[in-house]
Chains A and B, each alone.
Chain A
Amino acid sequence: MPRFLTLIRIDEKNAPAEGPSPELMERMGKLLEEITKAGVMLDTAGLTPTSDGSRVTWEGGQLSVTDGPFTESKEVIGGYSISQCKDKAEAIEWAKRFLSLHEDYWTITAEVRQITED
């Protein structure tokens, strides 16, 4: 059973300033309970805005550190989950369920990536 890293990408500039509505939080809580009871969820969390973040880059033998916010990126990672599913189709189904909890004014992408197993 492969493991998947699902990256939740949001457009920080156009995301609702007040964050998720209380109703959305409640729906997310219910789904999290469901996915945990399915024995699927290994780890999940939301991330603070990129204004709190930094990027450390190695290029041409030089290190550089750039503090956020990362305004040049249209979409940044706002959260992630690590799940263990029978296959990618199952991971995508859970991602669909997570996304469709959101109100229509959200633009949000879930990038489902399989974790390599050695």
Chain B
Amino acid sequence: MTSQPTPASQPTPSRPDRTAGAIETVFRMESPRIIAGVTRVVRDVGIAEELAQDALVAALEQWPRDGVPDNPGAWLMTTARHRAVDLVRRRENYARKLAEIGRTLPEAAAPPEEPADPDDIDDDLLRLVFTACHPVLSTEARTALTLRLLGGLTTAEIARAFLVPEPTVAQRIVRAKRTLATKNVAFEMPYGPDREARLGSVLDVIYLIFNEGYAATAGDDWLRPSLCEDALRLARVLTALMPKEPEVHGLTALLELQASRTAARTGPSGEPVLLRDQNRSRWNRMLIARGFAALGRAEATSGGAPGPYLLQAAIAACHAHAYSYEETDWSRIATLYGLLAARSPSPVVELNRAVAVSMAKGPAEALALVDALAGDPALRDYHLLPSVRGDLLARLGRAPEARAEFERAASLTRNERERELLLRRAAEQP
């Protein structure tokens, strides 16, 4: 900084110019791109991650001594890729030697030309996204690997976010990398008929991460905002990488709009505040505006055939447009849930449609829809079914039945905060 500092604010001394902390910051920012770029060379995300770490170690040794390169990200990338190319060459030499004695190893990819083109890096990043969310992996492995490789979270951070022991997460990640290697999962973008399903899998992983933060399935916190933010960042990255995909814009719009309510969703002591009771002046207008913009892009690219994320974003937009719960366009929401049910039928969608119908047409009509779901095995232990049913019964003046439903819902939820809320509602019944 060359401006004249006032005596009150001296420039922060930093000798050498970048501390180890600042180098690690640069590395964390660049690591998804580095891992992606290196995976293209070595075809193995585990090895790529190790080579990226090696580049960090090299930076920690060299930068404080020789000064910081003008483009630290490019330095890390080039260093990691050089090591990758060396490794591939060593492998090839080894394979040649084996061949001389009559044994073979799988063909290694030819090392790419230097330096990396930014567009190539974007493509590599997308390949990494599709690899981390590959269907050969379990859902748990996909979320852990995505947060690790693309979200830049440490194993400890992932473990904290999902309330599981750190060794469990570490194991999951190791096994996931091994599965990708043993199943010879190609480091490529899916084309052809399974592309849509593969993209759907990526979007589902991001949505799952968001939801775990938005309505934690277990534990004492109602909300874990950091997970929501990690998911939202992944969605924003994907939007920039795949600007022609309506469902990517749809997912981003949905998450921006849902995240806009974060501040209003908890009360002073961390208790959940339901949509109808939220102070809407606390909804974040910037996120709402971003959500609307993303929804517009989703609609513009969808060619009039809205996918499930676009439809859910359109529903979230109905809430965002309303200044109060009563002013919400419930009949439009019910219509959108109808479209969603036709496009990807599920009992949970049907349950949400019932809630919208109860607001648009009254609780009696909605109760018929909910009762039709009562026997669905998928909802047998889903706490929101008795919770919604209890709400409808309470509105119909059937207090004893409502109380029983709220108590049943409380016994089913694994979230402490939600249990308290449901028991309170049970106790409120006259």
A residues with a Cβ closer than 8 A to B are: 1, 9, 11, 34, 36-40, 42-43, 74-75, 82, 84, 86-87, 89-90, 92-93, 100, 107, 109, 117-118
B162 to chain A, nearest CB (A): 17
Given contact pairs A89-B22, A93-B29, a sample of 5 additional A-B residue pairs in the complex whose CB atoms are under 8 Å apart:
A1-B230, A39-B236, A107-B3, A109-B1, A117-B263
List the 5 closest A-B pairs by CB distance, nearest first. A39-B236, A1-B229, A39-B233, A39-B237, A89-B25
Give bound CA distance, A74 to B3, whole Å: 10
Chain B residue at minimal CB-CB distance from A118: B263
- CB of B241 closer than 8 Å to a CB of A: yes
C-alpha spacing A86/B26, complex, angstroms = 12
Distance between A1 CB and nearest chain B CB, rounded to angstroms: 4
A–B complex contacts, Cβ < 8 Å, 26 sampled? A1-B226, A1-B230, A11-B3, A34-B118, A36-B236, A37-B241, A38-B237, A39-B233, A39-B234, A39-B236, A39-B237, A39-B240, A40-B233, A42-B290, A43-B286, A75-B3, A82-B286, A84-B229, A89-B21, A90-B28, A90-B29, A93-B26, A109-B1, A117-B263, A118-B263, A118-B282
A interface footprint on B273-297 (CB within 8 Å = 1, 0 otherwise): 0000000001000100010000000
Interchain CA distance A13-B152 in the complex, whole Å: 43
Determine the chain B residues whose CB is within 8 A of the CB of A93 once the complex forms.
22, 25-26, 29
CB-CB contacts below 8 Å: B184-231 with A: 226, 229-230
Given A39-B233, A42-B290, A43-B286; A86-B28 close (CB under 8 Å):
yes
B245 at the interface (CB under 8 A from A): no
Interface residues, chain B, with chain A CB atoms under 8 Å away: 1-4, 21-22, 25-26, 28-29, 70, 118, 122, 152, 226, 229-230, 232-237, 240-241, 263, 282, 286, 290
Q: Given A37-B240, A42-B290, A109-B1, check contact A90 B230 (CB 8 Å).
A: no
Chain B residues contacting A40 (CB-CB under 8 Å) are 233
Residue of A nearest to B32 (CB): A38
In the assembly, what is the distance between CA of A40 and CA of B230, in Å? 11
Chain A residues with CB below 8 A from B4, complex form: 74
User: If the complex has contacts A1-B226, A39-B240, A43-B286, are A84 and B233 also in contact, measured as CB distance less than 8 A?
Assistant: yes
Min CB distance B247 to A, Å, is: 17
Across the interface, which residues of B come within 8 angstroms of A82, CB to CB? 286
Nearest A residue (CB) for B21: A89
**A100–B71 CA distance with the chains assembled, in angstroms:** 10
Q: How far is the CB of B287 from chain A (nearest CB, A)?
A: 8
Given A37-B237, A86-B28, A117-B263, check contact A42 B3 (CB 8 Å): no
